[in-house]
Chain A
């Protein structure tokens, strides 16, 4: 029992991450905003707003709305609340100063600040000044509730951070474990270390496959395609192929010690390739992945502190499960060799 404490830890961490990952609500936000007018400078116009997890009705008394252009706010003259997630905003005639796009902001004490970047487009030429500049009274921009950040396009699928990303962390951890065992083999030529390395590569590839499939699904719903020409995607595909080649290479050598030596050396190169392809190149090139090619990672988002413990628990939990499975495979292999 006590010897297996880390297995229990892994199960607990995974249980926590799945529960917290699904049970925590998403922060309120604006899903869509539709303007009634093509030309916003001619006459008054309305903007129909659809919110998600918002409480327009409950917060009706303190609900403010304004449009931003070139950092200048224009307040709604009236906020007409239909229900919790539906409101009609009445605006005075507004001409754009900088670009023909307005950012919509709403604020209430309970929901905090809701922002929709470039929500409204206008056909007006960008020349005239703003007609009415106001000063929205926002006491605090803090959102005082426990929720995951509302991200445009991502929405609820932000929870995939706890499912898709840990697969890759588990794969990289297992490949690192394999590399460590390869080094240990090369120090004393003890064949057991070679077996450990081999088994953990096999499990790493399972996690890699799961990462690819789940990533593909997520890409379909947020980027619009099952596979996009992204540095990170192609890099991981090459990494997986090079480790598949490792398995093929092993099968092609008969002598046990020779096979162990050749594959240990090969896997060192494959590991370095993986670091370059997954870790380095996506940061130098443009990539759709957060944290790469100038894209902000999730850690840059303000409400990320609610996600961080859940994410780390999921990563650690899956790494433990991966090491556990590779240990079982190794023990099975020992047993088989002892009896044949």
Chain B
């Protein structure tokens, strides 16, 4: 839960929203944000999921077209 909270804070601070932090937290935030350590994991995970799902949707559309062709072939 603490991890999740940190993640949310990191994401919010990444978008540049004004966020009051004590100076010592700032150092850690700067380091982690500068390297975008956790953000890069999230973005990478999202990219892979988006890529795979995009590919699957395209495949699905192809299959629907194929089904249509097959059904029309049966009728004629």
Contacts and interface: CB of A to CB of B under 8 A. Distances in A.
Interface string A49-85: 0101000000000000000000000000000001101
Given A50-B27, A50-B28, A217-B44, A155 B70 contact: no
Contacts of A340: 69
A50 B48 contact: no
B25 to A, nearest CB: 8
Contact of B32 (A22, A155, A222): A155
User: What class of interface size applies to chain A in its complex with B?
Assistant: 35 or more
The SS class assigned to the B binding surface is helix
Interface in A288-340: 321, 325, 328-329, 332, 335-336, 339-340
Q: Which 9 A-B pairs have the closest CB atoms?
A: A155-B37, A156-B37, A156-B38, A221-B40, A86-B24, A214-B44, A159-B41, A210-B51, A221-B36
Interface of A: 18, 22-23, 25, 31-32, 50, 52, 82-83, 85-86, 153-157, 159-160, 163-164, 167, 206, 209-210, 213-214, 217-218, 220-222, 321, 325, 328-329, 332, 335-336, 339-340
B24 A82 contact: yes
A83 B69 CA distance: 68
B63 interface: yes
SS class, residues of chain A in contact with chain B = helix
A25 B3 CA distance: 8
B24 A50 contact: yes
Interface of B: 3, 24, 27-28, 31-32, 35-41, 43-45, 47-48, 51-52, 55-56, 59, 62-63, 66, 69-70, 73
A167 B40 contact: no
A156 B48 contact: no
Contacts of B59: 325, 328-329, 332
A49 B38 CA distance: 21
Given A50-B24, A332-B66, A217 B43 contact: yes
Given A217-B47, A339-B73, A32 B27 contact: yes
A321 B48 CA distance: 13
Among B47, B48, B56, B63, the one with the most A-chain Cβ atoms within 10 Å of its Cβ is: B48
Contacts of B38: 155-157
Given A52-B28, A157-B35, 4 more contacts: A18-B45, A160-B41, A339-B70, A339-B73
